[in-house]
Structures are given as structure tokens and as C-alpha cells.
Amino acid sequence: MKRAIALLVLACAPAFAAGVYPPARTTPPSVSQQEMNKAIARRVFDEIFNQGKFEVADEIYARDFVNHGQHRDTSLEEDQAAVHWEKLAFPDLKITVDRMAAEGDLVTVVWTLHGTNTAAASPLPAAGVKLELRGITVWRIADGRIREEWTAFDMFHVVRECLDQLKWKLLGLLCVLVILLYGAVTAVRWLRPRPSTVKA
């Protein structure tokens, strides 16, 4: 009998313990700093590039921001001027985020740009060139602000796309220039005073 009671107690112990001690509360995990930094990075593409909300830059970039270019560093003002130019030249410009990773205060984004050059933006005329370009950007984000940037993409690909789409227009322009140059040279020859053949 004692043995049966002991077995019964052992069998009911887990249910009894669950009734005596309430289950531990599960608190929702707080958003990590890396997730917040990724959200800031995403705003650059979604709001500034895709929607043209340039004022967002004041909220997410630090005043001392530096874009570390391949040949020289640029300030926030120069960086945003380039963004304005890109959106002017390619009004339908859209950038999609393909991959994003964060570690420490760094966020790395692999992105794809799509756009059509339908508007003139000095010195670029509205040529109708369609671009699809993939690149990578690394941002250092501290205290909720983007402090530094490193971006890389294949510039040769951009040139090749432009030349491929404009080759016939460029060839036509070259033919016009050759004809004009030939006409100018011929006109100069005809207008040049001829030496007199009459002897005094």
C-alpha cells in the first residue's frame, strides 16, 4: 500500500508542482541594436531613394557623416547632392534590398538599383537609358545616426549599359559631326582668297 501511494505521489508530482508554482512569464525580447541599425539603413532606400523624401537625411545622418569614396571622402552635403542628382536624372529610380546583415555598429547591404534616365540633369541629357545595377554599401551607425559609409559598384557596367543602349545614337551623332566638319573645311577652302595669276 505504501508503495502504491509513493508511486501515485511521484506520478502526480509534476501536475501538483505546476498548480503550486505559476508558469514563468515570458517577456517579449527587446529589439536589438543591430535590428534598429538595420531599420535606419532600410529608411535610406525606402524613403530617401525610392520616395524622394530628402528631409529624412536630417533625421538619420550625423552632421559629421563621411562617405569614404574610392578616390576621396565626401561630406553629408556632397553625398545628398549626389542623391538629389540621381533622383532628378532617374525619376523612377528604385533600389531594392537584396541582403542585409548587421554586426556591432556596422550594417552591410547588398542592393539592386533600377531606373530610367528620362530627365536631363546637367551634364547628362535625357537619353532614355535604362539601368540595372547591383552594389554593396556598408554603414557605421552609432547613437541612431549614420556616421560613415563605404559603397562599391561596377562603374564599368554602368558605362557598358549606356554605350550599348546609345550606340546607334552616338554613331549617328558622329556621322553628323563628320559631315559638319567636312562642310566647314570645304567652306574655308572656297572662301580663302586665291592668289592672283596676273603678272604686273
Q: Which tens digits make up the pLDDT trace of 151-171? A: 998 877 666 777 676 655 555
Does residue 26 have a pLDDT over 70? Answer: no
What predicted TM-score, i.e. pTM, was given to this entire model? 0.66
Give residue-wise pLDDT tens across range 112-148.
999 998 888 777 778 888 889 999 999 999 999 999 9
For cell 536630417, the residue is 58
Q: Residue 44: name the closest of 31, 63, 61, 69 by CA.
A: 61
Which of the following CATH numbers is that of domain 29-154: 3.10.450.50, 3.90.1720.10, 3.10.450.240, 3.10.129.10?
Answer: 3.10.450.50
Sorted by where each begins, the domain ranges of the chain are 29-154
pLDDT tens per residue across span 176-188: 677 777 677 777 7
Q: Report the pLDDT value the prediction gives residue 27, as an integer from 0 to 100.
A: 44
Give the C-alpha separation, 94 to 138, whole Å.
19
Rounded Cα distance, 138 and 199, in Å: 82
Angstrom distances, CA of residue 61 to CA of 35, 40, 77, 146, 200:
17, 9, 11, 5, 85
